[in-house]
Chains A and B, each alone.
Chain A
Amino acid sequence: MTTFDSKIALGRASVRPARGKLFLTLLVLLLVVAVLSLAIGPTGISLQALPRALAASLGYTTDAAAARDRLVLIDLRLPRTLLAAFVGAALGTSGAMMQGLFRNPLADPGIVGVSSGAALAAIATIVLGHGIAEPIVAPLGIYALPIAAFTGGLVTTILLVAIAARHGQLAVGTLLLAGIAIGALAAAISGLIVYASDDRELRDLTFWSMGSLSGASWQKVFAVTPFAIAIGFLIPRLTRGLNGFLLGEAEAMHLGIDTERTKRIAIVATAAAVGAAVAVAGIIGFVGLVVPHVLRLISGPDNRVVLPGSAILGAALVIFADIIARMVVSPAELPIGIVLALIGAPVFLHLVLRRGMGGWE
């Protein structure tokens, strides 16, 4: 009885870490990799150059070395780090959202066709942007791709909802199947467009589809900022609902959750996250699958921890992978998707083998 009494004050399962400590640890981890990402690069410019770089960007010096420090630190590494953080956070949370929605730990935005839809729109923009779609694409400039990919992700999702909701209730099983079908359709259309494109576009597509942050720029950072804000706004409105979904759709309703609304928010937030991430970094897999999984192993399935935690851990992971991508074969660089698979797959395998199926039935 004494052990029970000593536990009675604990507002969580004693096998789980305290939430505050967990978030603090994750934030410190994110901070460390972010600082490393700013400090490390093929030019060897370190953070010692930061004051000079800031002076140059504020116009206090026109010294050539300072201008270069500014370029590397402020215009190359900083936006790249921010973009990596966004992409990681977006992919991590969208994975967590989809897994919560489908009650399937292996669900991924790719499964419901959102990634394929975003990719199709991006591919179409790349290929047709020089041709028939030029009047639309050209004025959008560098924003054309993010806008197109988000629209593609959203259109796919809305189409999905329309199909799944035709018989009144939005059944999750129908959604999953429709998503697979739409994803396949989008991939097929992408294939058609790629076939119609010429050599140069094809090669751009190849590298784009392997995922890379080498094209990071402040413009891309600005382009995804509204998406980041929107996702940050939606996630706190999702955690309770998705916690209800952990028990099942009917059970969520019994517990007072408006299940249709939860699904809609999750779908829109996922489309925004995946669309924006695909637009700026291409198709980067693996983050959405593994990051929420790792968090659940540590903290349990409570989405109040898993969703924000996946954002932080996803950001840290992608920044870390990007550091490796740019340093290993420097001055050339690797596609980040390869790095993530190389880091993540063994970790994932290890976790699965060590913890069994992590308690899944």
Chain B
Amino acid sequence: MLEARDVVVKRGAKVLLAGVSVAITPGQLTAIIGPNGAGKSTLLRAMAGELRPTDGAVLLDGVDLRTFPVARLATRRSVVAQSTNLSFPFTVLEAVMLGATVPGFGIRDRDAAVAARKALIAVGLESFEDRMIHQLSGGERQRVHIARALCQLSTAPRRPGETAALLLDEPTANLDLKHQGEVLTVIKEQSLSGRAVLLVIHDLNLAAAFADDVVLMANGQIVGRGTPHEVLNEDLLSHTYGCRLKIDTSSDGRRLVLPAAITRRQRTGAAAE
């Protein structure tokens, strides 16, 4: 279990997180949603050990992250950042292999390559391994970085029972519908195979479709949590996002969130003003 406990993060006088408590557990996919500036990415970075909480603590299986050497932390969680730019000409395989070779797990390149190729199969890029990264589309690149994170977790030495967490910040941001579905399926499979997955995501419908738990944030605080059905309700979302939202349920029972259409009455009212 990876747990944020009363985490406060301040930058100067600005409070980015005002006492947030969240726990992600193995086998569960937790989605963090909320409007821009709610503190979603800050929470993810704090839980990744990248940002030190000003107050409170992040615990991994009960142990404060601050006591983890970075090298050991890398065996327990991997991160896909919002955008990663490679400044040098990598092939796809090389970029994915970094997930196994950089942390110093002590595995040979041959084994790293095997793990990297498996990760590429998982994200559906197995035929791309010799392509140069900069020739890929944005969505393909995103999948390469996910593969790298998977490669890291699959090659890291861990004892049984230790939580392995996968933290992703907006992994579907640049993707078309087909790839959104594919990437989230890969992520879902990770949670189903026992990883604790934390997903920061803007698209509420995708969160509703794939997440087991949803955490709704606003202004550095958690304003709602629970199953998608519990959190995605019209009043809470409309209030949090500051606009009127319409919630529907699809034929297969998933929540659908849409901005409310402007009604004829509002339109004429606006014209009258």
Q: Are A and B in direct contact (Cβ within 8 Å)?
A: yes
> A332-361 vs B: 1/0 string, CB under 8 Å?
000000000000000000000000001111
Residue of A nearest to B92 (CB): A13
- B180 CB-CB contact with A under 8 Å: no
**Residue interface mask A246-262, B partner, CB < 8 A = 1:** 11101111111110000
**Residues of chain A from 238 to 281 with CB closer than 8 A to chain B in the complex:** 240, 243-244, 246-248, 250-258
Binds A, one of B31-39, B93-101, B188-196: B93-101
Cα A246 to Cα B88 in complex, Å, equals: 7
**Interface membership of chain B positions 73-117, coded 1 if the CB is closer than 8 angstroms to chain A and 0 otherwise:** 111011101001111111101110011011110001111111001
Task: Tell me, yes or no, whether B48 is within 8 Å of chain A by CB.
Answer: yes
Given known pairs A11-B113, A254-B74, the reply for A105 and B87 (CB within 8 Å) is: yes
Chain B residues 170-227 with CB under 8 Å of chain A are: none
Q: Please, which residues of chain A bring their CB within 8 A of the CB of B87? A: 103-105, 246, 360-361
- Check A360/B88 contact, CB under 8 A, given A11-B109, A11-B113, A256-B74: yes
Say if the beta carbon of A132 comes within 8 Å of chain B. Answer: no
When chains A and B are docked, how far (Å) is the Cα of A247 from the Cα of B104?
16
Q: Is the CB of B81 within 8 A of A12?
A: no
- Inter-subunit contact A254/B48 (CB<8 Å): yes
Query: Which of A49-57, A218-226, A295-303 is near enough to bind chain B?
Result: A295-303
| Contact yes or no, A247 B84, CB < 8 A | yes
B residues near A256, Cβ cutoff 8 Å: 70-75, 102-104
How far does the alpha carbon of A253 sit from the alpha carbon of B71 in the complex, in Å? 8
Residue B152 at the A interface, CB < 8 A?
yes
Q: With contacts A13-B129, A240-B104 known, is A255 near B89, CB below 8 A? A: no
In the bound complex, residues from chain A placing their C-beta under 8 Å from that of B72 are: 256
Q: Does A60 contact B (CB under 8 A)?
A: no
Closest partner residue, chain B, to A302 (CB atom): B94
Q: In whole angstroms, what is the CA distance A358 to B75 when docked?
A: 33
By DSSP majority rule, is chain A's interface helix, strand, loop, or mixed?
Answer: loop
B126 at the A/B interface (Cβ < 8 Å)?
yes
In the bound complex, what is the Cα–Cα distance between A281 and B88 (angstroms)? 31
Which of A2-10, A30-38, A74-82, A197-205 interfaces with chain B?
A2-10
Q: Is the CB of B104 within 8 A of A258?
A: no
Q: Does B230 contact A (CB under 8 A)?
A: no
Number of interface residues of A (CB under 8 A): 38
Given the complex, which residues of B lie within 8 Å of A13, measured CB to CB? 91, 93-94, 129-130
Q: B132 at the A/B interface (Cβ < 8 Å)? A: yes
A15 at the interface (CB under 8 A from B): yes
Listed residue (A4, A9, A13, A104) with the most chain B CB atoms within 10 angstroms of its CB:
A13
Q: Is B50 an interface residue (CB 8 A)?
A: yes
Is B134 interfacial (CB-CB < 8 Å)?
yes
Q: Which residues of B contact A251 (CB under 8 A)?
A: 79, 81, 84
Measured between beta carbons, the chain B residues less than 8 angstroms from A297 are 89
Contacts of B85 in A (CB 8 A): 248, 361
Q: Does A14 contact B (CB under 8 A)?
A: yes
| Cα of A249 to Cα of B93 in the assembled complex, Å | 21
Tell me, in angstroms, the Cα distance from A7 to B126 when the chains sit together: 11
How many whole Å from B169's CB to the nearest CB in chain A? 10
Measured in the bound complex, the distance between the Cα atoms of B247 and A37 in whole Å is 79
Known: A240-B104, A256-B70, A256-B74. A9 touches B110 (CB 8 A): yes
Do B81 and A250 have beta carbons less than 8 Å apart?
Answer: yes
Contacts of B132 in A (CB 8 A): 359
B146 to chain A, nearest CB (A): 13
- Alpha-carbon gap, A256 to B69, bound state (A): 8
Query: How many angstroms from the CA of A15 to the CA of B94 in the assembled complex?
Result: 11
Complex: how many Å from CA A104 to CA B87?
A: 7
In angstroms, Cα B99 to Cα A248, docked, is 13
> A296–B89 contact, CB under 8 A?
yes
Q: A254-B74, A254-B78 are in contact. Are A11 and B94 (CB under 8 A)?
A: no
Check A360 against B89 for contact (C-beta < 8 Å): yes
Could you list 8 A-B pairs, sorted by A, with CB under 8 Å? A11-B113, A12-B94, A243-B101, A256-B73, A256-B75, A301-B88, A359-B89, A360-B134
